[in-house]
Amino acid sequence: MNDSESPHKWIASHVAGLPKSGIRDFFELVMSMDDVISLGVGEPDFDTPWSIRKATITALERGYTSYTSNLGTLELRETVCRYVQTEFGASYDPKTECLITVGVSEGLDLALRAVLNPGDEVIYHEPCYVSYAPNVIMAHATPVPVITCAEDEFALDPEKLRAAITDRTKVLLLNFPNNPTGATLSDRQKLEISKIACEFDLLVITDEIYAELTYEGNVRTIASYPGMRERTIFLHGLSKAYAMTGYRIGHACGPAPLIDAMMKIHQYSMLCASLISQEAAVEALQNGRREMLEMKQQYLERRNLVVARLNAMGYSCMCPQGAFYVFPDISSSGLSSAEFARRLLEEERVAVVPGVGFGACGEGFVRCAYAAAIEDIEIAMTRMAAFASRLKQAVPAEASITA
């Protein structure tokens, strides 16, 4: 079959050009093995708190199985706006400035498609969540990565940001606390970045899905900084802090014209988020705080354990102040991040994600998620230490042979 007969000819060129997620091949390898302890999971290991699951059941019992307003139920939007005001310091009108989305993933897609024209540039920071650059490309715009590095604790360096801005730059996409590094921004860093956004008249789309999982430092959203409310789309959801990934519930808050533009796309594509999930989200945000904080405390204890063990193995990593990831530097192993992850999996049955899956600058690092039972994490760290010590012994031997 030649190219003109192949079904490939139907695929849009900008989609055909999208790279497959770098994690996909590794995922297949992990799934083919038994007795694996996975530190490769980007979702909480906790079940959704029972009171939230019970609210879901009640919604079903009452027959809440219909469509809702395209924006989402008013009760949830009011609850979200109160929560965002109290927790993150930005106030929005639930009637016009809040849209309930199918997770932050949909919110991000809507925001990008609503504002981007072909040729526009979007600055984002790497290493980052795998979907950012593809999402920008799918919106027919150009993704422009700015590298963050271990020396800056993976925070966005304002000078590097400034250097990446061109006259085509329209959007700055932020994700702090960050997946995969666990990095957060200090008050001062948020202020500096917000000043640059104002100076260059950028729209900021901020994915703050891990906001509650900030262990030290303030959780004020950048949307609450001077001059930012008018130029920020705040994306947040319940997947991570409330362990509700499968509910697919997120929310976008921003100036009414932008929310209205996003709503147009949402109403013609997704229509609305699941009502059952919206009911559960109301329960989570109104009454789920105690259980959310209990989960957060457990993440904190796991983080302490993982950071101490990795540094003891010689894989230096900062003590991240957010999310549930650590991003150790494994370059001393002499292996690429993909090779390191493959051998660790095959030899010790521990899954971590190669850093290169989160951007080229993630080479030399791996992502370890501590969203796993602490007993499993302890075993995984012991296995990883054995692996590290074998590599240390092997490296000089190999070096002497080649010399």
Partner 1 sequence: MNIREDILRLLRKNARLTCEQIGERLAVPAEQVAAIIAAAEADGCIRGYHALVQDSAFAEQGVYALIEVCVETQRDGGYDPVARAVSRFSEVSDVMLVSGNYDLLLIVEGQTLQDVADFVHSKLASLSGVRQTRSHFMLRRYKQSGFLHQEDPHHERLRVTP
| Candidate segments 68-76, 204-212, 350-358, 391-399, binder of partner 1 by CB under 8 A | 350-358
- Binding-residue total with partner 1 (CB under 8 A): 29
Taking the least distance from each CB to partner 1, the nearer of 248 and 309 is 309
H or E stretch at 174: strand 169-174
Output 22 or 288, the one with its CB closest to partner 1. 22
The least CB distance from residue 82 to partner 1, in Å, is 29
Amino acid at 143: P
**Residues 337, 353: Cα–Cα separation, whole Å:** 8
Closest CB 130 distance from partner 1, rounded Å: 4
The DSSP code for 322 is B
Let me know: does 148 contact 177? Beta carbons within 8 Å. no
| Residue 353 interacts with partner 1 (CB under 8 A): yes or no | yes
Q: Pattern of binders to partner 1 over 145-184, x per CB under 8 A?
A: ----------------------------------x-----
Among 40, 94, 107, 177, interactor with partner 1 by CB under 8 A: 40
Amino acid 219 reads V
Closer residue to partner 1, CB minimum distance, 107 or 357: 357
Return the number of the residue (72 or 103) whose C-beta is nearest partner 1.
103
Q: How far apart are the C-alpha atoms of 150 and 139, rounded to whole Å?
A: 31
Pick the binder of partner 1 from 11, 271, 293, 308 (CB under 8 A).
308
**231: region left, alpha or beta (phi > 0 left; psi from -120 to 50 alpha):** alpha
Nearest CB to partner 1, comparing residues 269 and 382: 382
Establish if 36 lies at the interface with partner 1 (CB under 8 A). yes
Question: Which one among 150, 256, 374, 379 touches partner 1, defined by CB under 8 A?
Answer: 374
Should residue 325 be labelled a site residue for partner 1 when binding is judged by CB under 8 A?
A: no
Q: Identify the CA nearest to 372 among candidates 45, 28, 20, 74.
A: 45
CB of 267 to partner 1, least distance (A): 28
Instruction: Confirm or reject binding of residue 27 to partner 1 (CB under 8 A).
Output: yes
Distance between CA 125 and CA 79 in Å, rounded? 31
| Residue of 211, 238, 263, 279 lying closest to 99 (CA atoms) | 263
Smallest distance, partner 1 to C-beta of residue 139, A: 19
196 or 374: CB nearest partner 1: 374
355 is a site residue for partner 1 (CB under 8 A): no
* Cβ atoms of 321 and 6 closer than 8 Å: no
Query: 156 near 386, Cβ under 8 Å?
Result: no
Cα–Cα nearest to 36, from 374, 268, 379, 273 = 379
The footprint of partner 1 on residues 43-102 (CB under 8 A) is 43, 45, 47
Q: Among 19-27, 65-73, 143-151, 153-161, which window interacts with partner 1 (CB under 8 A)?
A: 19-27
Q: What is the dihedral of CA 163, 167, 168, 174, to 10 degrees?
A: 40
> How far is C-alpha 97 from the geometric centre of its chain's CA atoms?
23
Residues 101-140 as x/- pattern, contact with partner 1 by CB under 8 A: ----------------------------xxx---------
| Residue 206 phi, psi (nearest 5) | -115, 115
On the CB side of 97, CA atoms within 13 Å amount to 20
8 A C-beta contact, residue 92 and residue 252: no
List of residues contacting partner 1 (CB under 8 A): 21, 23, 26-27, 30-31, 36, 38, 40-43, 45, 47, 129-131, 179, 301-302, 304-305, 308-309, 351, 353, 357, 374, 378
